Structure 1
């Protein structure tokens, strides 16, 4: 969880547990809930059945519940349910249990939700709702080439790096089959990067996985694309270098022979005019 989210959650917990708070209703148990942007999420109360004439209120706020979003009551034998504010068109109340369904959730829907059930007594149910964006797909690329890397490629090994755009509670990991090799996460970086060096030729399957609490994306490493291809290129580069050396040697030899021939011809004409 990133630092700002931790701080916000801590403030909410302090508000809930603080015996001196003016909002005594916040002392009830708080249920954590997570969701992904675009999903439909239901805040389940866990109640079997409410009293049929109970008044139901749902209240929301990013840091404390202070915005009424649902008001449902029985008036002259008729159930009247009103959805308010920016949630209109995305909410559905279950009057039997008090549960609330939110459709097409957004990052701005994160915060504290409170249900108030008013009958002979008033009961409260609180939810801390955290919303995450879908984690991006990680990208695998070869590390920048240098002579030492080229020599490792020729010896049957290669180095790659996996990267992904960072987000709330994103973790980046390398796997060999089902075995996790290493991982990294940081709330302070715009992008996460994780290197991997594969030693020797093998048939293992390597994959880079980006995850957050509600989603994951996997990119498989192509040995042919990222390793063998570069090894062939390195070998070819060495072959070209060797060919150039041979050509230069032959040309030098020809120049030397031609020079000697000219000198011999010159001296022979001087002695035999």
Structure 2
């Protein structure tokens, strides 16, 4: 009886150990398959999910479920979700699903499912824009300082260098503001090269920073020459304008002064009013004819007032009438 009990106990122990080993193996297997790998893409370019689909399989995306699938016997034939229409295909050589013409909102978790026993593999896709080229502005010769700036995008950093040495670095989660760094050239390191680098996880852009001043802190000769040319041009323009104004003033003054002496101009006339008394003709005085003013008086003997226009060339005939 005791012998039979011992065998039962040994069998129970063996079964428990075997169950524990199987349970451990089964529990560890999903852990490997559920690991999510990070992949990065560039807007407008293509990305392949690095997991093979041998004969049949599916590509799933977030809450949308299956967005593409391959059936046995129909290699390369896939059914597309409308949002991804004409953008997903299966590479016939690598057997990878490829997503083309990437967009920012394509980011998310994708699952490649090999239905022939390959299991499921998850990939988290992040899509980036190509980083912009930094701009160098405010090159101040008095302080030997410049400003580097760049458009801020997802995970963009802006770094200033002296040679290979990092001088400063900045980044910001606020994508509505640009990134900027001040860079000052030191006299003791004047012969070094300076640069600004904008970078994100998929691209980078580098621009050299010019030396705005000389080693002793004075403006560069080239800058001085350019500034001198600018001042000279401004001075020439100012002198030309001043001479033009003076010439115009002289011309107008001469025109005003010379106007009365110009014989071609109309002689100025004055209107005068006078009471006249015709002189009685003497017996021995010959009657003058041909004078329009006297002829009109003969026709109107009772006329005592005359309005006339006096001009300088007619003053010689004034002796014929008495304006007293």
Q: Do they fold alike, i.e. is TM over 0.5?
A: yes
Secondary structure of the structure 2 residue equivalent to 1:194: strand
User: Is 1:72 paired with 2:62?
Assistant: no
Q: What is the alpha-carbon root mean square deviation over aligned residues?
A: 3.3
Aligned length: 193
CA shift for structure 1 position 175: 1.1
Aligned to 1:220: 208
Give the 5 Å matches for 1:125-204.
125-142=121-138, 150=142, 152=143, 158-188=144-174, 190-200=177-187, 202-204=190-192
User: Is 1:100 paired with 2:97?
Assistant: yes
Question: Which of 39, 42, 48 lines up with 1:36 in the alignment?
Answer: 42
CA–CA distance in structure 1, aligned partners of residues 210 and 100 of structure 2? 39
Q: Could you report, residue by residue, the CA deviation over 1:81-117 in whole angstroms, capped at 9, with x for unpaired residues? A: 2233222222221367652112221112111111122
TM-score normalised by length of structure 2 = 0.52
CA–CA distance in structure 1, aligned partners of residues 221 and 97 of structure 2? 55
Q: Could you report, residue by residue, the CA deviation over 1:228-273 in whole angstroms, capped at 9, with x for unpaired residues? A: 279738x97xxxxxxxxxxxxxxxxxxxxxxxxxxxxxxxxxxxxx
Change (3 A) 1:90 1:229: farther
Q: Could you report, residue by residue, the CA deviation over 1:20-55 in whole angstroms, capped at 9, with x for unpaired residues? A: xxxx9997111100111122211111x4x73x4xx3
CA shift for structure 1 position 187: 0.8
Change (3 A) 1:225 1:135: farther
Change (3 A) 1:128 1:78: closer
Change (3 A) 1:230 1:173: farther
TM-score normalised by length of structure 1 = 0.61
Secondary structure of the structure 2 residue equivalent to 1:223: coil
Change (3 A) 1:168 1:188: same
CA–CA distance in structure 2, aligned partners of residues 97 and 214 of structure 1? 23
CA shift for structure 1 position 69: 1.6
Give the 5 Å matches for 1:252-263.
none
Runs of at least 4 residues off by over 6 Å: 24-27
Q: Could you report, residue by residue, the CA deviation over 1:103-157 in whole angstroms, capped at 9, with x for unpaired residues? A: 22111211111112223x57111100000011111111126x7xxx83x4xxxxx
Secondary structure of the structure 2 residue equivalent to 1:57: strand
5+ long unaligned stretches in structure 2? 1-29, 229-324
Between structure 1 and structure 2, the one with the greater Rg is 2
- Structure with higher RCO (Cα < 8 A, 6+ apart): 1
> Greater strand share, 1 or 2?
1
CA–CA distance in structure 2, aligned partners of residues 207 and 195 of structure 1? 12
**Bigger mean CA deviation after superposition, 223-232 or 107-116:** 223-232
Secondary structure of the structure 1 residue equivalent to 2:101: coil
